[in-house]
Amino acid sequence: MEIHCLKIRLKPWPHPLSEGMVTPFDPLQDYYLDLTHLEKTTRTEVETMIDSFWRQWGRYERRGAALELFGLPGEADEGTIRARYRQLAKKHHPDTGGDPIEFRKVAEAAEILMKKY
Protein backbone atom coordinates (compact mmCIF):
# COMPACT_ATOMS: atom_id res chain seq x y z
CA MET A 1 0.00 0.00 0.00
CA GLU A 2 1.27 3.44 -0.84
CA ILE A 3 -0.01 6.28 1.32
CA HIS A 4 0.58 9.86 0.27
CA CYS A 5 -1.12 13.04 1.46
CA LEU A 6 -2.93 13.36 -1.90
CA LYS A 7 -3.69 9.71 -2.65
CA ILE A 8 -3.78 6.19 -1.26
CA ARG A 9 -2.99 3.40 -3.69
CA LEU A 10 -2.97 -0.37 -3.32
CA LYS A 11 0.12 -2.04 -4.70
CA PRO A 12 0.46 -5.73 -5.56
CA TRP A 13 1.43 -7.87 -2.60
CA PRO A 14 5.08 -8.93 -2.87
CA HIS A 15 5.81 -12.61 -3.28
CA PRO A 16 6.72 -14.07 0.15
CA LEU A 17 10.02 -15.35 -1.16
CA SER A 18 11.08 -11.88 -2.38
CA GLU A 19 14.47 -10.75 -1.24
CA GLY A 20 14.35 -9.28 2.24
CA MET A 21 10.96 -10.75 3.10
CA VAL A 22 10.68 -12.92 6.18
CA THR A 23 8.33 -15.87 5.86
CA PRO A 24 6.69 -17.09 9.06
CA PHE A 25 7.18 -20.72 10.05
CA ASP A 26 3.93 -22.65 9.77
CA PRO A 27 4.26 -26.23 11.07
CA LEU A 28 0.79 -27.17 9.81
CA GLN A 29 1.68 -25.99 6.30
CA ASP A 30 4.96 -27.91 6.43
CA TYR A 31 3.14 -31.05 7.55
CA TYR A 32 0.60 -30.97 4.70
CA LEU A 33 3.13 -30.01 2.03
CA ASP A 34 5.37 -32.94 2.95
CA LEU A 35 3.79 -35.76 0.94
CA THR A 36 5.67 -38.44 2.88
CA HIS A 37 3.09 -37.92 5.64
CA LEU A 38 0.41 -39.03 3.20
CA GLU A 39 2.20 -42.34 2.73
CA LYS A 40 3.45 -42.91 6.28
CA THR A 41 0.52 -41.82 8.46
CA THR A 42 -1.50 -44.80 9.64
CA ARG A 43 -5.23 -44.97 10.11
CA THR A 44 -4.72 -45.12 13.90
CA GLU A 45 -2.63 -41.92 13.83
CA VAL A 46 -5.30 -40.12 11.79
CA GLU A 47 -8.01 -41.25 14.21
CA THR A 48 -5.87 -40.06 17.14
CA MET A 49 -5.45 -36.63 15.52
CA ILE A 50 -9.19 -36.36 14.87
CA ASP A 51 -10.00 -37.40 18.46
CA SER A 52 -7.54 -34.81 19.76
CA PHE A 53 -9.20 -32.11 17.68
CA TRP A 54 -12.67 -32.93 19.03
CA ARG A 55 -11.41 -33.00 22.65
CA GLN A 56 -9.88 -29.55 22.21
CA TRP A 57 -13.06 -28.28 20.54
CA GLY A 58 -15.11 -29.59 23.48
CA ARG A 59 -12.91 -27.69 25.94
CA TYR A 60 -13.39 -24.53 23.89
CA GLU A 61 -17.19 -24.93 23.93
CA ARG A 62 -17.26 -25.69 27.66
CA ARG A 63 -15.15 -22.59 28.35
CA GLY A 64 -17.63 -20.42 26.42
CA ALA A 65 -20.56 -21.85 28.36
CA ALA A 66 -18.73 -21.32 31.67
CA LEU A 67 -17.95 -17.69 30.81
CA GLU A 68 -21.59 -17.17 29.89
CA LEU A 69 -22.74 -18.63 33.22
CA PHE A 70 -20.35 -16.28 35.03
CA GLY A 71 -21.42 -13.35 32.83
CA LEU A 72 -17.79 -12.61 31.92
CA PRO A 73 -16.07 -11.69 28.65
CA GLY A 74 -13.64 -14.09 26.97
CA GLU A 75 -10.61 -12.06 28.04
CA ALA A 76 -11.45 -12.20 31.78
CA ASP A 77 -8.34 -12.68 33.89
CA GLU A 78 -7.82 -15.06 36.79
CA GLY A 79 -8.62 -12.47 39.46
CA THR A 80 -11.91 -11.54 37.81
CA ILE A 81 -12.89 -15.20 37.44
CA ARG A 82 -12.08 -15.93 41.10
CA ALA A 83 -14.01 -12.89 42.31
CA ARG A 84 -17.06 -13.81 40.24
CA TYR A 85 -16.85 -17.41 41.46
CA ARG A 86 -16.90 -16.24 45.09
CA GLN A 87 -19.97 -14.08 44.39
CA LEU A 88 -21.87 -16.88 42.67
CA ALA A 89 -20.78 -19.54 45.17
CA LYS A 90 -22.01 -17.41 48.06
CA LYS A 91 -25.32 -16.81 46.28
CA HIS A 92 -25.98 -20.46 45.37
CA HIS A 93 -24.33 -22.36 48.25
CA PRO A 94 -26.83 -24.69 49.98
CA ASP A 95 -25.63 -23.55 53.44
CA THR A 96 -26.82 -20.02 52.65
CA GLY A 97 -30.18 -21.12 51.24
CA GLY A 98 -29.03 -21.48 47.65
CA ASP A 99 -29.84 -24.16 45.12
CA PRO A 100 -27.39 -27.12 45.29
CA ILE A 101 -27.78 -27.82 41.56
CA GLU A 102 -26.90 -24.23 40.63
CA PHE A 103 -23.99 -24.31 43.08
CA ARG A 104 -22.63 -27.45 41.38
CA LYS A 105 -22.92 -25.74 37.97
CA VAL A 106 -20.97 -22.75 39.30
CA ALA A 107 -18.27 -25.00 40.80
CA GLU A 108 -17.90 -26.94 37.52
CA ALA A 109 -17.71 -23.71 35.52
CA ALA A 110 -15.01 -22.38 37.85
CA GLU A 111 -13.02 -25.58 37.41
CA ILE A 112 -13.20 -25.25 33.61
CA LEU A 113 -12.19 -21.58 33.67
CA MET A 114 -9.32 -22.04 36.11
CA LYS A 115 -7.69 -24.79 34.02
CA LYS A 116 -6.38 -22.03 31.76
CA TYR A 117 -4.39 -20.60 34.68
Q: Please, which pLDDT band fits residue 18 given cuts at 50, 70 and 90? A: low
Task: Read off the pLDDT of each residue in 5-13 and give the average, rounded to a whole number.
Answer: 81
Q: What is the pLDDT of residues 64-90, one digit of tens each?
A: 999 999 999 988 999 999 999 999 999
For residue 23, pLDDT over 70 is answered with no
For residue 2, pLDDT over 60 is answered with yes
For residue 21, pLDDT over 80 is answered with no
| pLDDT at residue 5, rounded to an integer | 78
Q: Please, which pLDDT band fits residue 22 given cuts at 50, 70 and 90? A: low
Task: Read off the pLDDT of each residue in 4-9 and give the average, rounded to a whole number.
Answer: 82
For residue 14, pLDDT over 80 is answered with no
Q: Please, which pLDDT band fits residue 20 given cuts at 50, 70 and 90? A: low
DSSP the chain: -EE-SS-EE--PPPPTTSTTPPPPP-HHHHHHH-THHHHH--HHHHHHHHHHHHHHHHHHHHHHHHHHHHT--TT--HHHHHHHHHHHHHHH-GGGT--HHHHHHHHHHHHHHHTT-
